[in-house]
Amino acid sequence: MRHVFVLMAWMLLFGLPACGDADAPPSGEGASSSSPEARIPGLDTSALEPLVAELIDRRMASVRSNAGNARAWADLGFALDAHMFLEEAEACLGQALELDGDLFPAAYDHAFLGTLLPREFEDVSARFEGAIALQPDYAPALVRQGDYLLAAGQVEQAAESFRAALAIWPAYAYAELGLARTQLAGTDEADWARACEALDSLFATFSADPAVATAYAQALTLLGRSDEAASISESHAAAVAGGGRATVPVRDTLRAEILSLSATAAANFQRGEGKLRAGDFQGAAREMERVLGFDPENRVARLLLAKARIGLGASKAARDALADLLEANPKDPDAHAMMGQLDTEVGQFDAAIAHFARASQSGSLDGATWRAWVTALGSLQRWDEALFRIDEWKLAAPGAADPFFLEALARKNAGQAAEAEAALEEAVRRAPTHPMRREIEPLMRVIR
């Protein structure tokens, strides 16, 4: 959003129009107001971050050298979109489509930008229809259209879009959610029941998604099952606290590709977090290194870079980075937690336990830290303390299944067979498809 503010302040100071304004001064001598050259944005990129300025300047230069090239205009529009110059991006994409109306990426992004800007419903609807006609099998365009239609109160049309997306991609979770929302907007109890069934399945996977939880609770309430609706809200809160999957993904690869053009530190950080979650440690490390190039003292970026290096097996580099953080702040809970995880991996369990204890004094722990702490205690056969920490973990994440799986293993090792079976039963009840189940159940059978 900082770039939006910079642009607005700049426009107010100098009274410059948006890209494509008919009153814009020509960008070059002799350019007519209707020529493509006149529509080149007159952005002053000197106030932008260096990588952002370099990208936008390069793409504007490409347009200047060949103002009749539709792809050059589209590429400039995508870069502007990625950096929140939305009106300028929209105008540049419009120019690309005037030159070549068959460019699907430009047509689709032009339609999507219409949903973000104050544009007439008929105009945006026509943009979506045109884009979808160019590539009718791109399901994300259909669900974006469905979202727009539903927000505009066009429930039946929205349902058609979501059904069309599901016809292309039958297991498309985002389209299932959208269709369920259209069913809940009506008055047919049979539709409510169908929506409830779909949302029950979605909630099993995406219990931390507020849109899924809200729609599911609404469906149950409409069906007169208020007690169950209340329990869904509780389960959602527990899933959020336990770090569950936050959103149903749109899986819009085209929009993701456009947004990946963003060269801001914030975008690097966001991409790095996403790559870390996806297990792309090399990509995450690269993004965090870029963030630190802008902001060398960014504590969170330094932590995430260390985590990426751990994933890459570069334990020494990660340990050195964490040691630097602890030297700056000996109480840093996240650095202690990650150092403890490193020590657990290399079998330095006493050192790991000391780090976990320090981390717990200054902050809340995530699931990975709790697991490593219990693992370190179990490796030293300190079962009573392991069970005590598991009880603390349960209080911190009341909806999580992980502590029950590890409780089952700890109690089995401690000779508490009946209690171990009860813990395993509860873990499986909470998460029947949890990957830990495949690891714990065989171990339970061999422990005497």
pLDDT at site 430: 87
Number of separate domains in the chain = 3
pLDDT at site 49: 77
Q: Could you tell me the pTM of the whole model?
A: 0.60
In three-state secondary structure terms, 180 is: helix
The answer to the question of residue 86 being in a domain is: yes
Same domain, 157 and 220: no
Residues 6+ apart with CB under 8 A from 104: 131, 134, 135, 138
Same domain, 163 and 244: no
Quick one: pLDDT band at residue 184, thresholds 50, 70, 90? very high
Same domain, 238 and 282: no
Task: Tell me: pLDDT of 383 over 80.
Answer: yes
Long-range contacts of the stretch 226-229 (C-beta < 8 A, 24+)? none
Higher pLDDT, 83 or 148: 148
Same domain, 197 and 240: yes
Burial 50-65 (b: 16+ CB within 10 A, else e): ebbbebbeebbebbee
In three-state secondary structure terms, 151 is: helix
Tell me the pLDDT tens digit for each residue of 39-51. Answer: 777 788 887 877 7
Size of the chain in residues? 448
User: Of 307, 327, 347, which residue is a domain's last?
Assistant: 327
pLDDT at site 244: 61
Same domain, 167 and 311: no
Phi, psi torsion values for 46, nearest 5 degrees: -65, -25
Q: Which among 189, 182, 7 has a CA at the least distance from the CA of 86?
A: 7
Calculate mean pLDDT across residues 320-349.
92
Task: Tell me: pLDDT of 102 over 50.
Answer: yes
Asked if residues 206 and 247 have their Cβ atoms less than 8 Å apart, the reply is yes
A 10 A CB-CB count for 68 gives 12
- Biggest distance spanned by C-alpha atoms of the chain: 89
Asked if residues 142 and 159 have their Cβ atoms less than 8 Å apart, the reply is no
The answer to the question of residue 414 being in a domain is: no
Calculate mean pLDDT across residues 364-387.
93
pLDDT at site 127: 98
SS3 per residue for 200-259:
HHHHHHCCCCHHHHHHHHHHHHHCCCHHHHHHHHHHHHHHHHCCCCCCCCCCCHHHHHHH
* Domain of residue 292, CATH code: 1.25.40
The answer to the question of residue 370 being in a domain is: no
Calculate what percentage of the chain has a pLDDT beyond 90. Answer: 62
Same domain, 14 and 157: yes
pLDDT at site 38: 66
Radius of gyration of the chain (CA): 27
Task: Tell me: pLDDT of 185 over 50.
Answer: yes
Calculate mean pLDDT across residues 410-419.
92
Quick one: pLDDT band at residue 7, thresholds 50, 70, 90? very low
The answer to the question of residue 45 being in a domain is: yes
The answer to the question of residue 295 being in a domain is: yes
Calculate mean pLDDT across residues 52-77.
94
The answer to the question of residue 84 being in a domain is: yes
The answer to the question of residue 211 being in a domain is: yes
* Domain of residue 137, CATH code: 1.25.40.10
Same domain, 281 and 211: no
Identify the weakest region by mean pLDDT among 190-199, 243-252, 337-346.
243-252
Task: Tell me: pLDDT of 33 over 60.
Answer: no
Average pLDDT, the chain: 87
Task: Tell me: pLDDT of 140 over 80.
Answer: yes
Pick the most confident of 99-108, 301-310, 416-425, 430-439.
99-108
pLDDT at site 30: 39
Same domain, 31 and 166: yes
The answer to the question of residue 198 being in a domain is: yes
Task: Tell me: pLDDT of 392 over 90.
Answer: yes
Task: Tell me: pLDDT of 267 over 70.
Answer: yes
Same domain, 241 and 305: no
Cα(244)–Cα(369) distance, integer angstroms: 15
Task: Tell me: pLDDT of 31 over 80.
Answer: no
User: Of 257, 292, 327, which residue is a domain's last?
Assistant: 327
pLDDT at site 24: 38
Same domain, 105 and 175: yes
User: Of 179, 209, 228, which residue is a domain's last?
Assistant: 179
Half-sphere exposure of 34 (CA within 13 A, CB side): 0
Give the residue numbers spanning the domain of 311: 267-327
Same domain, 22 and 97: yes
Identify the weakest region by mean pLDDT among 37-51, 131-145, 183-197, 374-388.
37-51
pLDDT at site 15: 34
Quick one: pLDDT band at residue 295, thresholds 50, 70, 90? confident
* CA distances (Å), origin 376, targets 112, 356, 366, 408, 435: 50, 10, 16, 16, 20
* Single-letter amino acid code for the residue at 215: A
Same domain, 25 and 146: yes
Cα(425)–Cα(246) distance, integer angstroms: 26
